[in-house]
């Protein structure tokens, strides 16, 4: 088992024929991911990377039974691409695009309410289930099939955790990059819940950063419902107040936004909080013993 994506997932790529789409779809296919086609409006009927190209997501779904989509569409059109995927019945929508206007995402969030589509991202590295499917831009080779689920707001910090878990021999069930924007589809709590319900996942790594209440919400949920050990890390202890640190969502407004406040509430809720990202793998190995 794993969560969200696996070897049976049928994946389409929106923005398939563009530079980013082409490169990363190629990498996904090389990893062994079941990419069944792509969408580029106006290029329907052609083939790209030996896969069929469709004009619309609806057409792609009708022809391939795709249930997962990954989006590499430029920011001005990305919100529309997400809604198109949802309207066509795609179950898991992974949006890699960085720089979508917040107001567009307010609309998207509203549009997705009442659909059974789950959005991952935007502004995220995607999802990977080792030996199953890579639906994202992460380096595949650092991953290894295993027993730890990872949820993270940051790309390279996720790779850091993955690498350590691989080296201590625990591996990963699935790693989910949920994205660094103020509005994202799947929250830390949502992802933790998925892992708690996945029988193969024995431990969970939760990587957060300054800004917002997602980690606190997840921590409170874990305290009430958690059945597996969770190792947590929060980036940004030295970040100044009021400045956006790279990710649009990484900004300290009030006291609850700080790394210190988040770490406190996480450890109060029984999460094993580490102060250095270098300790994530070791800590997980220790608590899973």
Partner 1 sequence: MNLHEYQGKSILKDFGVMVPDGIIANSPEAAYEAAKEIQGRTGSKKWAVKAQIHAGGRGKGGGVKIASTLKEVRKFADNILGMMLVTPQTKKEGKLVRKVLVEQNIYYPGPEEVEEYYMSILLNRDVGRNMVMYSPRGGMNIEEVAEETPEEIFTEIIDPTVGLTGFQARRIAFNLGLSGVAFKQMTKFVVSLYKAYVGSDSTLFEINPVIKAADGKVYAADSKVVIDNNALYRHKDIAEMRDLSEEDPTEVEASNFDLNFVKLDGNVACMVNGAGLAMATMDMIKMSGGNPANFLDVGGTADAKRVEEAFRIILRDKSVEAILVNIFGGIVRCDRVAQGIVDAYKNIGDIKVPIIVRLQGTNAEEGKKLIDDSGLKVHSAIQLEEAAKLVNTMVN
Please give the positions annotated as active site. 247
> Which residue among 35, 210, 265, 285 contacts partner 1 (CB under 8 A)?
210
Does 153 engage in binding with partner 1 (CB under 8 A)?
yes
Does 159 engage in binding with partner 1 (CB under 8 A)?
yes
By beta-carbon proximity to partner 1, the closer residue of 47 and 243 is 243
Does 272 engage in binding with partner 1 (CB under 8 A)?
no
Which part of the chain contacts partner 1 (CB under 8 A), choosing from 56-64, 86-94, 148-156, 196-204?
A: 148-156
Q: Which residue carries 């580490």 as its tokens?
A: 274
Does 15 engage in binding with partner 1 (CB under 8 A)?
no
By beta-carbon proximity to partner 1, the closer residue of 41 and 277 is 277
Does 233 engage in binding with partner 1 (CB under 8 A)?
yes
> Which residue among 48, 134, 228, 247 contacts partner 1 (CB under 8 A)?
247
Nearest by Cα to 36 from 19, 59, 20 = 59
> Which residue among 26, 46, 197, 278 contacts partner 1 (CB under 8 A)?
278
Does 239 engage in binding with partner 1 (CB under 8 A)?
yes
Does 246 engage in binding with partner 1 (CB under 8 A)?
yes
By beta-carbon proximity to partner 1, the closer residue of 32 and 99 is 99
Does 126 engage in binding with partner 1 (CB under 8 A)?
no
Residue 75 CB, shortest distance to partner 1, in Å, is 6
Does 30 engage in binding with partner 1 (CB under 8 A)?
no
Does 83 engage in binding with partner 1 (CB under 8 A)?
no
Residue 212 CB, shortest distance to partner 1, in Å, is 5
Spatial separation of the C-alpha atoms in residues 112 and 100, rounded to whole Å: 16
DSSP track, the chain: --SS--TT--EEEETTTSHHHHHHHHHHHHHT--EEEEE-TT-TT-EETTEEEESSHHHHHHHH---EEEE---HHHHHHHHHHHHHTT-SEEEE------HHHHHHHHHHHTTS--EEE-SSS-EEEETTTEEEESS-GGG--EEEEEEEES-HHHHHHHHHHHHHTT--EEEEEE--SSSS-SS-HHHHHHHHHT-TT--EEEEEEESSSSHHHHHHHHHHHH--S-EEEEEE-TTPPTT---SSTT----SGGGSHHHHHHHHHHTT-EE-SSGGGHHHHHHHHT-
Interface residue list for partner 1 (CB under 8 A): 27, 75-76, 99-107, 109-110, 137-139, 141-142, 152-160, 163, 180, 182-183, 207, 209-213, 217, 233, 235-240, 243, 245-250, 254, 259, 275-278
């Amino acid at each position: 088992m794993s969560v969200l994506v696996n070897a049976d997932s049928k994946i389409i790529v929106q923005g398939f024929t563009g530079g980013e789409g082409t490169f990363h779809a190629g990498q996904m296919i090389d990893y062994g991911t079941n990419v069944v086609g792509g969408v580029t409006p106006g290029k329907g009927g052609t083939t790209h990377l030996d896969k069929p190209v469709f004009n619309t997501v609806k057409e792609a779904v009708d022809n391939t039974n795709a249930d997962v989509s990954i989006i590499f569409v430029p920011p001005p059109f990305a919100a529309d691409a997400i809604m198109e995927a949802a309207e066509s019945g795609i179950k898991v929508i992974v949006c890699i695009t960085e720089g979508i206007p917040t107001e567009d995402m307010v609309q998207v969030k509203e549009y997705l309410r009442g659909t059974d589509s789950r959005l991952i991202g935007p502004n995220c590295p995607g999802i990977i289930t080792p030996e199953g499917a890579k639906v994202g831009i992460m380096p595949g080779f650092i991953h290894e099939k295993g027993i730890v689920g990872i949820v993270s707001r940051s790309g390279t910090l996720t790779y850091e955790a993955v690498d350590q878990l691989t080296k201590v021999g625990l591996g990963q069930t699935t790693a989910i990059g949920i994205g660094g924007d103020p509005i994202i589809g799947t929250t830390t709590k949502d992802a933790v819940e998925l892992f708690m319900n996945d029988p193969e996942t024995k431990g969970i790594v939760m990587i957060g950063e300054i800004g917002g209440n997602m980690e606190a919400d997840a921590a409170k949920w874990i305290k009430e419902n958690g059945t597996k050990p969770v190792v947590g890390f929060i980036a940004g202890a030295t970040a100044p107040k009021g400045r956006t640190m790279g990710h649009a969502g990484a900004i300290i407004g009030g006291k609850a936004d700080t790394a210190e406040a988040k770490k406190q509430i996480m450890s109060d809720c029984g999460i094993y909080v580490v102060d250095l990202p270098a300790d994530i793998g070791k800590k997980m190995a220790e608590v899973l013993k």
